[in-house]
Amino acid sequence: MTTLTPEDVRREPALQLAAGAGGGWLVIAGQELRDIWLSARGPAIVIGTSLLLSLLTYLAASNEELNIIDQRDTVNLLAQITMALAVGVSLLFTADCVSGERERETLESLLVTPVPRGQVALGKYLAAVSMWPVLLIVAIPYIWVLREGEGVFADAMLGALVVGTLLVIGFVSLGLLVSIFSGSNRLSLAVAFFIFVLLLAPTQLPLGGWFGDLITQTNPMTAGSTFLHRAIVKEHGWGEDLDLLIAPAVWAIAMTGVAFIAAGRLRLQGSFGR
């Protein structure tokens, strides 16, 4: 048996470089981006979204029932739908990113590279987030043609950018977190999607009273949705409803922090649902 001395350790030859030291996340993000955007997945989602927005835009402009709604309402509708789609899709991407690799038996090969676990997670995280700016860009022409009146386009784009970014960051982190601990991809997708629906549902419900206010303020989805509604439809100035951005911001920061702490403990096997 060879005895290792500190001298032996110092004798270590220079490392090849880099990937392990800092650039691995970039390589992984690049590969993941290619997997999303050069395969059918990303394009199909974007084209599907554009078809949905086309349909809604046409109906909004043509149907007499919809003419009841103020144009600002229609713009708000498109912005919110784009945002909800981006959040849902990005969430599903990260919910698959670790547990999916486990299931496809490709995770072990990745874990024996010198890229630190946190960087593996970061690369996948960034690729999943890429869906959001693309969908927002796709929504631009629709919101542009439906805009009417001063500042509605700017209100919608800026509001969606801020609220959507916070929500996407939070939910992508949630997906990553669930995926890190989930032993099965199906479980990971189910748990992540369930939480998404649970938080999205109150935006579809009439909320009133102190409890309604509490939900609106504390649920990042309802808070973000209400903020966007007030900015676009009610023409509120940004300073008026800044409190509604607290929940999405806290959600984004907290989930990201927790997810990346967990990513450092990424294991070959999941903790539950094996």
Partner 1 sequence: MIRRGGLVALVAMVALFAIALGARRHAAAEMNGAPIAVGELTVVVSKSNVSAVTGDSFTFTSEIRNAGSEATPALIANLAFVAVDGGTYVDPEDWSSERTQAVAPIATGATASQTWTVKTVLAGDVASYVVVLPAPPALVANSPLAVSPAIQMHVEKHRALNPGGVLPTVLIVPVVLVMAFGGMRVVRRFV
Partner 2 sequence: MAQASLAVDGISKAFGETRAVRGLSLDAAPGEVIGLLGPNGAGKTTAIRILTTIYAPDSGSFAVDGIPYTRPSAIRQRIGVLPESAGYPLHQSGEEFVQYFARLFGQSRKSARETAKTLLAEVGLAERAASPISMYSRGMRQRLGVARALVNRPRVLFLDEPTLGLDPAGQRQILALISEAATERGATVILSTHFLDEVEEVCSRVIILNRGEVIAEGPVADIKRRAAPRTARVRVPEENHESALSALKRAPGVGDAQAVNGGRGLISATLDGSDTNAPIRALLEAGIPILFFELEGGKLSDAFLALTGEAGA
Residues interacting with partner 1, by CB under 8 A?
Answer: 37-38, 43, 46-47, 50-51, 53-69, 73-74, 76-77, 80-81, 84, 138, 141-142, 144-146, 203-206, 225-226, 229
9 binds, among partner 2, partner 1, none (CB under 5 to 8 A by kind): partner 2
Please name the residue that has the structure tokens 């386009």: 153
Q: Determine contact, residues 238/71, Cβ cutoff 8 Å.
A: no
Tell me the closest approach of the beta carbon of residue 147 to partner 1, in angstroms.
11
115 binds, among partner 1, partner 2, none (CB under 5 to 8 A by kind): partner 2
- Phi and psi, residue 18, nearest 5°: 5, -55
271 scored as a contact of partner 2 (CB under 8 A): no
Q: How far is 189 from 182, CA to CA, in rounded Å?
A: 9
> Which 3 state secondary structure label does DSSP give 270?
coil
> Which 3 state secondary structure label does DSSP give 182?
strand
Binding-site member from 31, 62, 63, 67 for partner 2 (CB under 8 A): 31
Binding residue count for partner 2, defined by CB under 8 A: 35
Q: Determine contact, residues 249/171, Cβ cutoff 8 Å.
A: no
220 binds, among partner 1, partner 2, none (CB under 5 to 8 A by kind): none
226 binds, among partner 1, partner 2, none (CB under 5 to 8 A by kind): partner 1
Of the ranges 67-75, 112-120, 128-136, 231-239, which one interacts with partner 2 (CB under 8 A)? 112-120
Query: Which secondary-structure segment (H or E) carries 164?
Result: helix 152-181
> Which burial class, exposed, middle or buried, applies to 96 when counting CB atoms under 10 A from its CB (0-12, 13-18, 19+)?
buried
Q: 119 to 158, contacts with partner 2 by CB under 8 A? A: none
Which of 96, 105, 254 lies closest to 179, judged by CA?
A: 96
Tell me the closest approach of the beta carbon of residue 122 to partner 1, in angstroms.
25
Spacing of C-alpha 208 from chain mean position:
28
Q: How far is 219 from 200, CA to CA, in rounded Å?
A: 9
Tell me the closest approach of the beta carbon of residue 22 to partner 1, in angstroms.
29
Q: Determine contact, residues 157/148, Cβ cutoff 8 Å.
A: no
Binding-site member from 42, 57, 84, 116 for partner 2 (CB under 8 A): 116
Q: How far is 179 from 186, CA to CA, in rounded Å?
A: 10
Q: Which two tokens stand for residue 248?
A: 């999405």
Q: 60 to 99, contacts with partner 2 by CB under 8 A? A: none
206 scored as a contact of partner 2 (CB under 8 A): no
Of the ranges 5-13, 60-68, 126-134, 247-255, which one interacts with partner 2 (CB under 8 A)? 5-13
Closer to partner 2 by Cβ: residue 1 or 68? 1
**CA-CA distances (angstroms) from residue 57 to 45, 161, 233?**
18, 20, 17
Binding-site member from 78, 89, 95, 115 for partner 2 (CB under 8 A): 115
94 binds, among partner 2, partner 1, none (CB under 5 to 8 A by kind): none
Q: Determine contact, residues 142/78, Cβ cutoff 8 Å.
A: yes
Binding site for partner 2 (CB under 8 A): 1-2, 4, 8-9, 11-12, 15-21, 23-24, 27-28, 31, 35, 39, 101, 104-106, 108-116, 268
